[in-house]
Amino acid sequence: MRGEGTIHTHWCGLLWTIHHKQGRKRVKQWSCLFTCLNSRAIHLEILDGLDADSFLNAITCFSARKGVPERIRSDKGTNRIRANKELRAAAFSWEKNDKVHNSLLRKGIEWEFNPPHASHMGGVWEQQIRTIRKVLQAIVGMQVVDDERLHTFFCEVEEIVNGRPITPTSNHVSDLEALTPLHILCPKTVPHCPLGGEAEEPVGDIYRKTWKHAQFLADQFWKRWLKVYLPSLRQHQKHFKRLRNFQVGDLVLVTEWNVPRNHWVLGRLVETNPGDDGVVRHVKVRTSTCKTLTCAVNKLYLLEGSCK
């Protein structure tokens, strides 16, 4: 975005194929995922085709909702879509298309491509995109959903991912609130209460109602994405370098698999118990419900901004 005080100025994009239902026809569409390199927010758009007009429509919708970015970065087609000739051809055609360049120039957007076969240059965003794409493909990759359900589901996915805790808002021991991408994008956002929740109806009845099916898909994304995202926060031992111990005052995510969608259990460490080797293996945590829990550190995750 532009303007004084804004911090999300660089976005990157990624495409993959989805299947869509129009009447009784099954058609192919493409999903475009943008992620902010500063706030770590995401944005999802649907493309009806791989021509320049569809791409420009996606950029226009994205800019209208999130603001005009200063720079968009993406990989060359040979990196992420090695097996999909359509996407690879489209990526190169957009790069050389004067209509695309002229339109982006009028908006003041700079579009950068990473060199071919250099996916490591996108390490800032690759991990997040990979986890989201993996879960989305598992849920709707082979399903055929109509336009209304797909748009609703994508909006719910955006809220789930953009509502994840990133870093503590302060170091005060009584502060159990964390900064999220939604706080940056929409400072006055009210916490969302899911309409669906765990459905107790037969699966057949869920599929007949558009809004219930969309909520059912969102619940499935929440469950599967947590199991992929949370382990990605865990630091792994490398060589002989000792990892950072948990410390009193750390704000952590407590593993709870049965919590409602968009609900994160946060807690502050009030006591650590290092072993004879100096490694902390179990701690005491005070949660937002004022309960003090004793748990092993493998049930806790440091926030992204604390993983140093």
Quick: pLDDT tens for 245-294: 888 989 999 988 788 888 899 999 999 988 888 889 889 999 877 788 89
Residues 6+ apart with CB under 8 A from 102: none
Average pLDDT in the 36-57 region? 83
Q: What are the CA-CA distances from residue 118 to residues 76, 78, 127 (Å)?
A: 9, 9, 15
Separation of alpha carbons 155 and 299, rounded Å: 29
| 150-178 core/surface letters (b: 16 or more CB in 10 A; e: else) | bebbbebbbbbbbbbbbebeeeeeeebeb
Average pLDDT in the 19-23 region? 63
Separation of alpha carbons 308 and 302, rounded Å: 9
Quick: pLDDT tens for 116-169: 666 666 666 777 777 888 888 888 866 777 888 888 999 999 999 999 999 888
pTM: predicted TM-score of the whole model, two decimal places? 0.81
Quick: pLDDT tens for 202-237: 555 555 677 888 888 899 999 999 998 888 887 655
pLDDT band at 5 (very low <50, low <70, confident <90, very high): very low
Whole-number mean pLDDT of the chain?
A: 76
Partner residues linked to 272 by β-bridges = 283
Residues 6+ apart with CB under 8 A from 150: 18, 20, 46, 140
Residue of 48, 46, 78 whose CA lies nearest to 62: 46
- Tell whether the torsion through CA atoms of 212, 29, 132 and 159 is positive or negative: negative
